[in-house]
Structure 1
């Protein structure tokens, strides 16, 4: 028994292909769910001290971050 992986470029034709393959008596069709991609993790502790030595407080930082242009 052999297993193949098919990449369908046009998703609108996927069911046409699946139905065709199901009609063949020597082929079993098995749908496999896509694996969720791993998200990159961020180590929060690697950012520690990024504001050290800067003369800015939280209030001033928020004001600059949310500054609206009018």
Structure 2
């Protein structure tokens, strides 16, 4: 019986944590936060391709705006 109760509590905590995480990620996305690490990888690649600072900034802004809303 004790193990059943502990299992029920563990399942409840897992569901609660999952729901909370989804809510927080949705709120961050609504604020325009770019989630994930792909943006950083893309930015590094674009910086290595371009030598001109102005061109680099233009290319980065155009490319990143396709993936997320810039803050």
Q: TM-score, normalised by structure 1?
A: 0.25
Compare the two structures and name the one with the higher helix fraction.
2
Which structure's CA Rg is the greater one? 1
Q: TM-score, normalised by structure 2?
A: 0.25
